[in-house]
Chain A
Amino acid sequence: ELKVEQNPLFLSMQEGKNYTIYCNYSTTSDRLYWYRQDPGKSLESLFVLLSNGAVKQEGRLMASLDTKARLSTLHITAAVHDLSATYFCAVDPGYSGSGNTGKLIFGQGTTLQVKP
């Protein structure tokens, strides 16, 4: 059974600091997603990582994928309060090259709290 584990599960940090969220998964997959969820809201897509070594950046967030280590990281640079949210990584275990299967296995989520 595919497992996706994130750590830490809760992160409280000061504005301006850097930190990294880790996402480990237990089976081979070349497709990994990062989502953000604000309280009471739905999931917002942040990044899609499609191959080993993929790196994507958007603002203060940068995501990378190491398929050999089955590890993805989400790095936060100079955090600001607006980044406070829960971040999920998710893996598509059934990607066959003809499109995603719609079946994602999610990590537990990392709740990020950025203090002014």
Chain B
Amino acid sequence: KAGVTQTPRYLIKTRGQQVTLSCSPISGHRSVSWYQQTPGQGLQFLFEYFSETQRNKGNFPGRFSGRQFSNSRSEMNVSTLELGDSALYLCASSLGAEEKLFFGSGTQLSVL
């Protein structure tokens, strides 16, 4: 079956703009979580959605938001972009009761 799909693969934005990233989980998976990966901070948890409800949120400012649709697809939005938001954004899905997360290939965001 198809894996976790993230679009777009690469994005270049300028400071102050906003961006929306998309994630399609593995068919049947109801949990979608987002992570930010940077060389300096490593992998950091952003938030997790299950059946359209945000269950967990990491320590990120309110500029970072997300949502999940009824088909489990998820979007992540970052408003008023800052240079420090440049990172690889990874989405992961799971059944919820499964024991591991399946990660997508990520969206590489560059803020200029």
Contacts and interface: CB of A to CB of B under 8 A. Distances in A.
A100 B101 contact: yes
B58 A103 contact: yes
A107 to B, nearest CB: 8
Given A42-B103, A42-B106, A105-B45, A100 B98 contact: yes
A25 interface: no
Interface string A72-116: 000000000000000010100010001111111111110000000
B62 to A, nearest CB: 18
A103 B100 contact: no
Nearest to A95: B99
Nearest to A48: B99
B4 to A, nearest CB: 8
A102 B50 contact: yes
B102 interface: yes
Contact of A102 (B42, B56, B90, B105): B56
A103 B33 contact: yes
A43 interface: yes
B84 to A, nearest CB: 18
Interface of B: 31-33, 35, 42-45, 48, 50, 55-56, 58, 90, 92, 94-106
26 contacts: A33-B100, A33-B101, A43-B90, A43-B92, A44-B103, A45-B100, A45-B103, A94-B56, A98-B97, A99-B31, A99-B97, A100-B94, A100-B101, A101-B56, A102-B31, A102-B32, A102-B48, A102-B55, A103-B45, A103-B58, A104-B43, A104-B45, A104-B101, A107-B42, A108-B42, A109-B42
